């Protein structure tokens, strides 16, 4: 090959991409060149379309759901149960008497109740102590808002009387760990979000050997019982179907049906954007140690409150003391209640908060089969939660288009239409960069050698002329 030939011509004549050399070879009729040009254009176009299709499938359809029915060997995990006190008039009266004296303005009792069991609105607090109050009560700011919550709320031993799993009693407060929520401190069993990560975990497994599991609890006072996945947390927007409002002298018995989601190990190798879910350890939240949809919504509300009012309410999990709302902050939160508390999808026109939160990859599907409510004579509530039956179905998330599948698909398309391999693309670097540089270096060396030969004297001390080849 002539050394004066351009790198482009070198490449076209020698590349392993099929068809190019027939276009560039000398002595070819123009009809041959036109034919091979058309073939190359069609082949490259088809390759591009197939690669684009493979890439779009990899990005948007990498995961598939299937229903498994091989239930005989399954171990079904009981949902997480969180108990959150919802009222305690006796403790409120004791704290207000101790704080404000007896007698006092009993509107202050309602203020303390709103602050301790805060749910986004504070009507009495703002009416009596707010910036627009007509007659400001001098006792409004005796204590920090969070202090009232600490003094009024019952601890674990005061809430629970007895607990049992499948009729086997266990120590309630050993396994029910405290968990911070938007409604204050709750107590949860079988949850990975508890405050103390060293809290022992009760084995709440149901299978063909144990039969459907059942959790029995006796609870003092008024409370809300949340039935959730192990990674979920009680929140202001928890579905009402997942909550039992407990009052004394009532026996509650709820029968549940569960469908779990199993994940193929390769699912973790797929990006979050492709699988459209997050595992519990894939978190960037500061309100809870593990990710879940509900935890993400709490984080979203916290950020929105700080963004709108420069503070968040005093019960918000993991909140710095300097970011806790004072009375002016509570006024701001109440004024923007719908924008900060009511969730809405991004495409909705109504007022609400848009939270870009993905579901958890391991969340469960819970459904209520039956609810029984019976009056009892005891001055406490009884809550029994039972699996109606062992599940016969569960969902499984499979990877149908992984990275290896993408490489195989792209490589197959390139080989089919272009007759190429990965080395064919390396040739581009070689012919346009490596070879011109190496030729330049070789040429310089030859010139230097010729100069040395030209001026080298022979035996008769005469200069020897270089040989012309």
pLDDT in tens, 43-54: 889 989 998 988
Average pLDDT of 191-216?
90
pLDDT band, residue 7 (cuts 50/70/90): confident
Please report the pLDDT score of residue 464 as a whole number.
53
Lowest mean pLDDT among 2-11, 148-157, 245-254: 2-11
Is-above-0.85 flag for pTM?
A: no
The pLDDT of residue 3 is 47
> If pLDDT is split at 50, 70 and 90, which confidence band does 1 have?
very low
Q: Does residue 447 register a pLDDT over 90?
A: no
- What pLDDT sits at residue 428? 80
8 Å CB contact between 198 and 105 = no
pLDDT band at 24 (very low <50, low <70, confident <90, very high): confident
How high is the pLDDT of residue 400? Answer: 87
Query: Which tens digit of pLDDT belongs to each residue from 399-422?
Result: 988 888 888 888 888 888 888 778
The model's confidence at residue 385, banded by pLDDT at 50, 70 and 90, is very high
Higher per-residue confidence, 81 vs 33: 81
Distance CA 256, CA 250 (A): 19
Q: In what order do the strands lie in the sheet with 214-219?
A: 168-170, 160-165, 214-219, 381-387, 250-259, 365-375
Give the pLDDT score at 143: 72
CB 93 within 8 A of CB 301: no
pLDDT at 375 over 50: yes
pLDDT at position 309 is 94
Please state, rounded to an integer, the average pLDDT across all residues of the chain. 87
| The pLDDT of residue 206 is above 90 | yes
| pLDDT at residue 254, as a whole number | 97
The yes-or-no verdict on residue 372 having pLDDT over 80 is yes
- Residue range 113-131, pLDDT digits in tens: 999 999 888 888 888 887 7
How does residue 462 score in pLDDT terms, banded at 50, 70 and 90? low
Domain ranges of the chain: 7-60+404-454, 71-81+160-399, 89-152
Nearest alpha-carbon partner for 364 in 284, 442, 433, 263: 263
Average the pLDDT over 199-214 and give the result. 91
């Amino acid at each position: 090959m002539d050394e004066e030939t351009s790198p482009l011509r070198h490449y076209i004549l020698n590349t392993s991409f099929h068809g190019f050399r027939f276009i560039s070879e000398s002595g070819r009729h123009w009809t041959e060149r036109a034919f091979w040009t058309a073939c190359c254009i069609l082949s490259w176009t088809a390759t591009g379309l197939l690669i684009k299709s493979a890439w779009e499938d990899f990005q948007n359809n990498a995961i598939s759901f299937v229903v498994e029915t091989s239930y005989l060997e399954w171990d079904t995990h009981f949902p997480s149960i969180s108990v959150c006190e919802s009222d305690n008039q006796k403790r409120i009266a004791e704290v207000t008497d101790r704080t404000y004296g007896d007698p006092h303005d009993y509107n202050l009792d309602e203020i303390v109740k709103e602050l301790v069991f805060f749910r986004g609105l504070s009507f009495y607090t703002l009416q009596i102590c707010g910036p627009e109050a007509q007659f400001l009560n001098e006792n409004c700011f005796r204590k920090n808002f969070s202090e009232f919550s600490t003094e009024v709320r019952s601890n674990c031993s005061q809430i629970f009387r007895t607990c049992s799993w499948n009729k086997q009693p266990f120590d309630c407060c050993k396994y029910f760990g405290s968990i911070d929520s938007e409604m204050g401190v709750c107590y949860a069993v079988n949850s990975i979000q508890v405050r103390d990560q060293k809290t022992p975990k009760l084995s709440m497994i149901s299978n063909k050997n144990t039969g459907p599991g059942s959790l029995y609890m006796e609870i003092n006072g008024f409370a809300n019982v949340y039935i959730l996945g192990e990674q979920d947390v009680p929140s202001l927007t928890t579905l009402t179907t997942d909550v039992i409002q407990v009052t004394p002298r009532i026996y509650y018995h709820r029968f549940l049906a569960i469908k779990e989601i199993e994940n193929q190990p390769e699912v973790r190798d797929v990006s979050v954007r492709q699988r459209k879910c997050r595992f519990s350890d894939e978190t960037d939240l500061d309100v809870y140690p593990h990710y879940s949809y509900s935890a993400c919504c709490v984080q979203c509300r916290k950020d929105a409150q700080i963004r709108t009012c420069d503070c968040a309410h005093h019960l918000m999990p993991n909140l710095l003391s300097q970011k806790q709302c004072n009375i002016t902050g509570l006024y701001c939160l109440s004024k923007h209640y719908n924008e900060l508390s009511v969730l809405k999808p991004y495409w909705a026109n109504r007022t609400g908060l848009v939270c870009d939160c993905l579901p958890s990859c391991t969340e469960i599907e819970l459904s209520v089969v039956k609810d029984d409510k019976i009056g009892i004579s005891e001055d406490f509530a009884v809550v029994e939660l039972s699996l109606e039956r062992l599940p016969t179905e569960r969902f499984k998330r499979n990877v149908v288009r992984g990275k290896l599948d993408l490489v195989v698909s792209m490589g197959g398309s390139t080989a089919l239409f272009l007759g190429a391999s990965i080395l064919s693309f390396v040739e581009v670097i070689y012919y346009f960069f490596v070879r011109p540089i190496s030729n330049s270096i070789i040429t310089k060396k030859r010139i230097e050698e010729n100069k040395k030969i030209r001026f080298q004297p022979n035996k008769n001390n005469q200069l020897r002329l270089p040989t012309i080849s």
